Amino acid sequence: MDRRTLIDLITIPLFTGVIGYITNWTGVLMLFRPVQFHGFRVPGLRVLFPLLPRRVRILPLIRYDGRLGWQGIVPSRADKMASISVDKGLAKLGSIGDFYRELEPDKIAEHLAAVAQTEIRDVVEKIMEQENPQLWHDLPPIIKEAVFARVRSQLPGIVRSITEEIGQNVDQLIDAKLMVISYFVKNPELLNELFLIMGRKELTFMQNFGFYFGVPMGFALFGILQVAPYWWVLPIGGVVIGWTVNYLGITMIFEPVFPNKWVPWRQGLMIKRQAEVTQLYSRMVADRVITLQNIGNELLTGPRSDRTLQLLEDSLRPAVDNAVGPARAAVRVAIGTKEYDQIRSSVATEATGFAPIAFNDAEFSRQQSSRIYRFISGQMTQMGPDDFVEMLRSAIKQDEWLLFFHGGALGLFAGFLHLAIFGV
């Protein structure tokens, strides 16, 4: 064996092994990092951007403002991935009504009533001082205390009717898909965390697999080079190996869906861990996504919050009439119908401020999240491997070609680098 052949025998497998590892290692980085877009402005790109094909414009390589750079595939697709995750994943687990029922509306009502009891006195004082201070000042203390007492006594029943009403209409009050999309767009790092928590073992395997697969493929490429000693063999071989390394790495994680004795690894590596991944996924969603706090924020500040506020006001207005009691007609005459109705409306509007306090109680929210966790894990346990894979893979499947392209590009670079160092 001459010196040139010996150098090729040693260096080609080493190159393909190292490049295989780097390909998959950087491929994993490309999935998740950086969370925010980093790049530099390119003259003319901002003008050119609208003219580019849509498939190019949506790449995490460029921005409409004329910057060229990179953003992790997962965070750059936060809206699309969240949408697919809802359609393929959470929608299979249950409707927003199912999740709301798991949060135990009766306990929410008790908690909300307890919060309201401590605040209702100040609310009534504030409103009456604003709307009709003279009347409020003229009322004897004993009458004022009677008003406070009547409102407080009605609160548990009023709040329970509100939570029941929300439960009956929650599908109209909350757009679950939009809620999840909005949450992940505002917190793209959580998508990274979700994927990394569930697939950490498989992602580590994928990185190491690049080296384990690259080295024997290097020997195969060396053999081809002995038969066809042309300069272009190494670059083309590098493209094939780089593309195949990434393709096989992704495939081994998710395929085959069902055990297949003809496949060396029998079944997708993540599918083999379905029970473990189910627990991790359920805990993440219960603690960070479908939480009492997020549902409350969506009810009170989301795109359909006007419906929630109207429901709350309609439920609370009768409390004023009941608090005034038999003197209702006399009070109307004394202050005027318009002023009386304004007071009713103000009480209802101000009292809606109790809801955020109750929904945003961290300790209470944590207690309720355990029920959501059990519900999600129970539902996912019933999933077949096909639905399980669809839920996990659908979010990145449409962008996998970027990883394969990246592998091929690095393989091409490695081939030319070997030629530059060691010659033809």
Cα–Cα distance, 62 to 45 (Å, whole number): 9
Contacts of residue 269, Cβ cutoff 8 Å, sequence gap at least 6: 201, 202, 205, 252, 253
d(CA 334, CA 135) in angstroms, rounded, equals 9
Give yes or no for residue 121 having a pLDDT over 60: yes
Q: Which of 179, 123, 160, 126 is nearest to 300 (CA)?
A: 179
At residue 252, φ and ψ (nearest 5 deg) are: -65, -25
Compute the average pLDDT of residues 318-335.
53
378-416 pLDDT, tens digit per residue, is: 877 877 888 788 777 776 777 788 888 888 998 898 889
Helices and strands: H and E segment counts in the chain: 23, 2
* Average pLDDT rounded to a whole number, residues 89-102: 74
pLDDT digits (tens, 9 = 90+) for 286-308: 888 888 788 877 877 778 878 87
DSSP 53: -
Q: Provide the mean pLDDT of the chain.
A: 78
What φ, ψ does residue 174 adopt, rounded to 5°? -130, 130
pTM beyond 0.85, yes or no: no
Using DSSP's 3-state secondary structure scheme, residue 34 falls into: coil
Task: With CA atoms as reference, report the closest residue to 349 among 111, 118, 126.
Answer: 126
Measured distance CA(233)–CA(239) in Å, rounded: 10
Lookup: tokens for 345: 């409306």
Q: 228 versus 104: which is more confidently predicted? A: 228
Instruction: Supply the pLDDT for residue 333.
Output: 47
User: Each residue of 150-192: pLDDT tens digit?
Assistant: 767 777 777 777 777 777 877 787 877 778 888 888 888 887 8
How far is residue 99's CA from residue 376's CA, in Å, rounded to a whole number?
Answer: 9
| Nearby residues of 247 by Cβ (< 8 Å), 6 or more positions away | 404, 407
Q: What integer pLDDT is reported at residue 216 of this predicted model?
A: 92
Is a pLDDT exceeding 70 seen at residue 39? yes
Report which of 15, 59, 422, 11 is spatially closest to residue 245, judged by C-alpha positions.
15
Percent share of the chain, pLDDT over 70: 81
Tell me the mean pLDDT in the region 104-110: 76
